[in-house]
Amino acid sequence: MIISILILCSTNLLVAQYEDVGCATSPLTDSDIPEGYSNSTDSQLLMSYDPIVFNVYYWGINEDDGTAPGSPNDISITEERALRSIQMLNISFNKHNIYFKYTGFETFNNSLYYEISGHNEPGYKNFSELLNFAQSNNNQYYKTNAINIYIFKPYDFAGIALRHKNAIGMHQYFGQDFSRIGLNAHEMGHNLGLWHPHDGYIYPYVEGNPYNTSCEVVNRNSNNGQPYNADIAGDRVVDTQAAPDFRKEHYWELILDFNIDPEVAEDTYTPWLHYNQNDCAWESHPKGIDCLDEPYQIFLDYDNKNIMSYAPWECVNDILFTPGQLIKTWETIQIDEDGHFALSENSIASLYEPYKGEYYVAGPSNPAADKPLFQPGFEYRFVNCDCFAEEDCSSPTPYEEGNSTFSSTSQLLLSFNKEEPNFDNITHPNHSAIKIIFPNIPSNDPLLDPKRCYDNWNKAAIGGSLTKFNDNVFNTNVTLYPQDSASINNPNLINTIDPGLYKIEKVYEDGATQQTVIIKDNQ
């Protein structure tokens, strides 16, 4: 069955696709702040933006009885799926200096908002109503300091975002696997101010049709008598070519060229009829024209694989944005029309903080809790660090201390790439500092230095040895005394040995070793 999607009749509402689900968009009625956007496509300007971090919080919606029928394993959301979403968002946006910090998830039970309609289907709530409910009673299900992502069962669409409102809604399969990376990035693109490249799209010019006012013409030359309107029509980004809705071209052909009733066309059109899904190329055809009868000029990658387009998911999972789109996201963040971005912004230092678990400091250990976990989606390098004698590194040193506790040649102890599938593995090992590889940051930038040295020796050793240098000098004439956990941790160990030169070596459960040389005299 083919299901269509409708952008809700609100000036800021955007609806997106899910897998093979199409989109039936309403005419765009809002306009950008004239003085707020530069319409720039300058890649040098794009490189000038400093990294920014946003908090993200997830909400899973269940039926009144706490069930979520139809969702994976009948569970609306899990921490693993939320982390998979954060992983996909960071993979998609980190290369553009935009970062997301996972701050948690919750669920709530309410059958009224379990299944949401994208086009006001009778008997169903829409996303605006869900958000109003979430923000009622002093923001009961809305975090003012985060981008809020709601996971529910969509009746007739896959994802939705309220532009610059920090509110996104997505299908329950949003974080199931990497085939959904496009859905997550697409919706976040909407939240950051982007429209679909095909907004305003229609085939021939039709007198009186509401699309005409926002139909972006193909022509980019304003000197030949034809209008140049890429800055005020379509998606209002000048380097996204005027393009059709790749999925629904045949739908419009049936309506406009064959006078087929829209409901019949909805049930009979062939999705992506003019799009070759094998090589992700749009196949030009006689009816591939804009509202002024100009043939579309569709180019590979940025046009027919653009993440904000309705190309098939397998063709947009490279997450391609144009420079103009990215600059518009940054300018949307800077304009911050409603103040939501400033409220949800966090620091770069927050990326060096675990989302879960605790650092062992002292006393009895708790293996279930003593494991600080870090969110996926980053290139992590945990390198050896040695705490200076005058410093206390039983907890990680403050982020601001920079590289004072390790060497540039520090040994790599553990590393993870951004696609790491086992989230429980991404932990900060003892005796190491954290290095995050930030894309597009110069190699000599202090931001790339390891941070937060954790060099804790308070936990009891699991064993070790006592080596006596029989000649009281460092040579091979030694006697080795193996020690078990009880003896090596005995505070009176030194009192029990004869005078002489010794090396005490402690071995810890994480593989670390600590050596101490002592000279015991006759006193």
* Inside any domain, residue 294: no
The answer to whether 288 and 244 have CB atoms below 8 angstroms apart is: yes
Same domain for 145 and 106?
Answer: yes
Same domain for 88 and 185?
Answer: yes
Residue type, 265: A
Q: How would you write 480-491 as a 3-class SS string?
A: EEEEEHHHHCCC
Same domain for 122 and 30?
Answer: yes
* Inside any domain, residue 49: yes
Same domain for 40 and 110?
Answer: yes
Same domain for 61 and 168?
Answer: yes
pLDDT tens digits, one per residue of 229-288 = 788 788 889 898 888 888 888 988 888 788 899 889 989 999 999 999 888 999 888 878
* Inside any domain, residue 482: yes
Q: What does each C-alpha distance from 334 to 197, 338, 344, 381 come to in angstroms?
A: 22, 11, 13, 32
pLDDT at residue 30, rounded to an integer = 53
Phi, psi at residue 168, to the nearest 5°?
-130, 140
Q: Which domain holds residue 498?
A: 463-520
pLDDT at residue 322, rounded to an integer = 93
Same domain for 191 and 82?
Answer: yes
pLDDT tens digits, one per residue of 30-77 = 555 657 789 899 989 988 999 999 999 999 999 999 999 999 999 999
pLDDT tens digits, one per residue of 94-109 = 999 999 999 999 999 9
Last residue within a domain, chosen from 340, 371, 404: 340
* Inside any domain, residue 236: no
CATH number at residue 81: 3.40.390
Same domain for 420 and 392?
Answer: yes
Same domain for 377 and 504?
Answer: no
Which residue, among 88, 94, 85, 91, has the nearest Cα to 53 in the 3D structure? 94
* Inside any domain, residue 65: yes
pLDDT at residue 19, rounded to an integer = 43
Helices 79-93 and 181-191: crossing angle in degrees, nearest 10, is 70
Count of structural domains, the chain:
3
Nearest 5 degrees, angle CA 338-CA 302-CA 187? 35
Looking at residue 408, what DSSP letter applies? T
* Inside any domain, residue 203: no
Same domain for 490 and 396?
Answer: no
* Inside any domain, residue 390: yes
Same domain for 336 and 475?
Answer: no
**Concatenated DSSP letters of 381-406:** EEEE----TTS--SSPPPGGGTTTTS
Phi, psi at residue 506, to the nearest 5°?
-105, 140
pLDDT at residue 319, rounded to an integer = 85
pLDDT at residue 16, rounded to an integer = 42
Q: Which residues pair with 516 in a beta bridge?
A: 504
Last residue within a domain, chosen from 340, 372, 405: 340
Q: Which residues pair with 414 in a beta bridge?
A: 382
Same domain for 119 and 29?
Answer: yes
Last residue within a domain, chosen from 286, 311, 340: 340
pLDDT at residue 402, rounded to an integer = 58
Sign of CA dihedral 330, 335, 338, 340: positive
Residues of the chain under the 70 pLDDT cut: 1-34, 200-214, 220-227, 388-390, 401-410, 523
* Inside any domain, residue 23: yes
pLDDT tens digits, one per residue of 145-169 = 999 999 999 888 888 888 888 999 9
Which residue, among 267, 251, 248, has the nearest Cα to 311 in the 3D structure? 248
Same domain for 385 and 328?
Answer: no
pLDDT at residue 296, rounded to an integer = 85
Residue type, 51: P
